[in-house]
Amino acid sequence: MPSPAPYRTLKRPPPGGVPRVRSHRIFGQLAFVVLVMLAIGVGALAGLIFVYSSNLPQVSELFDYRPDVMTQVYADDGTIIGSFALQRRVMVTYNQIPPVLRNAIISVEDRHFYSHFGIDVLRIVRSAIVDVVEWRYYEGASTLTQQLSRTLFLTPQKSFRRKIREALLAIQIERHFTKDQIFTMYCNIIPWGAGSFGVAAAAERYFGKHLNQLTLPEAALLAGLPRNASYYSPLRYPRRAILRRDEVLAAMLNNGKINAEEYRKALTAPLGLHVQKWNEEKAPYFIDYVRQFLLDKYGAQEVNTGGLRVYTTLDPRLQEIALRTLRAGLRADDKRRGWRGPEKNILKHLIYSADGTPETLETYSDPDWGSPILPGSRINGLVMRVTDDYAVVRFEDLRAHLAPADFAWTKAATPASVFLPGDVDLFHITSITGDRVHATLDQYPSVQGAILVLDNKTGEIKAMVGGYEYARSQFNRAVEAERQVGSSFKPYVYSEALLEGWRPFDRILDEPVSYGNWSPHDYDDKYEGSITLLRALAESRNVPAVRLLSRIGIDRVIRLCRQFGITSRLVPNLPLALGASSLTLIEHTSAYTTFPDDGLHIEPRPILRVADDYGRVMDDFPPQVSEVLPGGVDRVMISMLREVVNSGTAVHARSLAAQYPVAGKTGTTNDFTDAWFIGFSPSTTCGVWVGFDDHHPLGKGEEGSHVALPIWMDFMSQALKSEPVQNFPDSPILTSPDQVKQILASAGSTGGLPQSSPLAQNVPGNSVPIAAPPVTPVSAATPPHNQP
């Protein structure tokens, strides 16, 4: 039997041998796992990138991208007077962005902007570490390019998917555009709060400045807004805005963009806001008129989003004078009709606060008190107490004592006759000393009016006010209201008479006459017998005007009116001579510019030119000129209208005429429902209308010479101050027929008819009685007579 095999002697492994082999194995396994996980991560990331990039917007679309840009309206001196927009945006180029603003934005929003490729990897890592370690959201890591891609192509909703798409889009944008182009797009497109889009619009909104006028603190304030324009709004949260501004200044200091001295000085600067209200237009009626013109020509899309630059004819100085004088005239006219009483009484008709309790004399706060109370303003006040000698009125924390002299226009003898505790009335603040106010009682006019100012040589609209206050009524009475014009129509009749060969010293009968069932009357029911045409027009006699129209022919006058630019319907009957047809103020005033323009009519125009948002002119609007009257006839008409001011119904303006040659015509309709004055100097024509929107009478004696003429005089006396005195060439005040011959001879004309015409052979000075012609149908609705 074989012997068993001996046991093998096993060698003891060397110390550490087994662990080394095992550690290699573990390391290899870990490496394998890491590589697998990395591959999975890379694959997943590649898959995510593939998925999220498969339907990304095409960045190439940015080459043709055109953001909504607001249309801006400029006055004739280049100042902005209005704008139209869905988004309030002003586009600028890179070179128009000042270095101080560029440095501020880049320092606080993306300090590595000029070195990264669309995403800032270091900033992302740092932000992620801080978020994880401190378990809070520390800061965003979006670059300017990412913010731009988000605004243009994505939603603001926070999600992992959006962040990846945002980064991918940013990289694509960086591939297609230069850094300067990206920065410019950012500054033009990002919202900056308070309804402004783009930094240029923000500068105008908050500071009323162009970008190149910004100071360091102002630039820093704007640069801090894109992070959260609502939270850091200087309008709502000024303290937050200052803190954010200071953060921007610190970032600029750390980046070496400003020095320590500039930093310290900027920290002490106040906000310095000069807020511009987008809807606070300086000439709202005119702006509406321009807007409608643009809408008709270019359409709403182009007007509201196309960034048009509209250069208008408006003169801001004349516009301000027109507004001020019209309001003063309407207030004066309204007060002649007396005190209408308080707007409300909070003790009789309770007003409740937000918590449901009724307001008291101590707790009531009027909406007018939300704005600074300044001398010259007209605001509501609350009557607190009434004594025998005065009434105590509160304006927030200010007090006024109104004595009888402060409400004398009401013709009330004592304060108790006018005031009761709890009354809310309108007052005119004349001065403020400490907490004491001096004020006078006022009231909003119920009467309305309009004023229009035209440049005679160009037809440019220099001022337009369509009502007492745009906020209360947007109806533009200067262009939309058709009102009977009264005797201000007569110059068209007399112009046609001169064309037919009549002369100012020819005579006509001012005696009763009937045309069927209608008999015209003079406003004073007196008759002067045989009078010259010159006197008949100056005194605005009605019967001679009707007699003249019946002789020269209604159709002829209507045709002439069309040449004057009048487009409204003219009723072809004899009361037409008395202004029974209705015209708008703009066409009536424009027609009168024919006289000082030597017989030429130029269509009224509000716009000089329109350019696109790059400044390229799209349309010019040159004057549209037509010949209406021969020079000689026109100059004679000016002389006749000067006599209206010299001795006629506008004689109150004679003192003004002594300084500046002026002419014009009053107009008052039957029952005093409309008051007019349209007059001109050699350079400017101004038309004024006053009346009630519902056509009820202004009151007995409220004629054009009493209501509209003072407004016209007030305007012209201020408007002409800055101009050299001009004269009417060859249009003197007429005193003899020889002057008429000289005027016509100097113009190389004897009038509208040849000398062989029977009318042209009328001997000046001889009476030319006119019998009543055959009956002309007269509408029963036509006023039987008219006022001067």
Joined tokens for residue 598: 């030597």
d(CA 617, CA 611): 4
Q: What residues pair up with 452 in beta bridges, in sequence order?
A: 464, 687
Active-site hit among 107, 149, 196, 487: 487
Residue with tokens 């007569």: 490
Q: Are strands 448-455 and 507-510 parallel, antiparallel or unpaired?
A: unpaired
* Helix axes of 238-254 and 99-109: crossing angle, nearest 10 degrees: 90
Q: What residues pair up with 675 in beta bridges, in sequence order?
A: 668, 690
Q: Which is nearest to 418 in space by CA: 375, 388, 444, 395? A: 388
Amino acid letter, 262: E
Cβ–Cβ under 8 Å, residues 316 and 336: no
Active-site hit among 83, 107, 109, 702: 109
User: Does the annotation mark 500 as catalytic?
Assistant: no
Cβ–Cβ under 8 Å, residues 631 and 747: yes
Please state, in angstroms and as integers, the Cα–Cα distance from residue 230 to each residue in 235, 237, 276, 313, 673, following that order. 9, 9, 17, 38, 52
User: Does the annotation mark 109 as catalytic?
Assistant: yes
Q: Which is nearest to 169 in space by CA: 323, 49, 82? A: 49
Cβ–Cβ under 8 Å, residues 704 and 667: yes
**Helices and strands (DSSP H and E) totals, the chain:** 22, 25
Q: Which is nearest to 502 in space by CA: 707, 762, 153, 766? A: 762
Please state, in angstroms and as integers, the Cα–Cα distance from residue 580 to each residue in 404, 495, 511, 572, 719, following that order. 44, 18, 21, 10, 31
- List of E strands, 199-346: 309-312, 344-345
d(CA 281, CA 734): 45
SS3 781: coil
d(CA 202, CA 223): 10
Q: Is 421 exposed, middle or buried (0-12, 13-18, 19+ CB in 10 A)?
A: middle
Per DSSP, 306 falls in state B
> What's 68-90 look like in SS3?
CECEEEECCCCCEEEEECCCEEC
Q: Which residues of 695-721 are buried (b: 16+ CB within 10 A; e: fewer)?
A: eeebeeebbbbbbbbbbbbbbbbbbbe
d(CA 246, CA 263): 9
Please state, in angstroms and as integers, the Cα–Cα distance from residue 737 to each residue in 502, 505, 536, 544, 637, following that order. 12, 6, 16, 20, 14
Enzyme catalytic residues:
109, 487
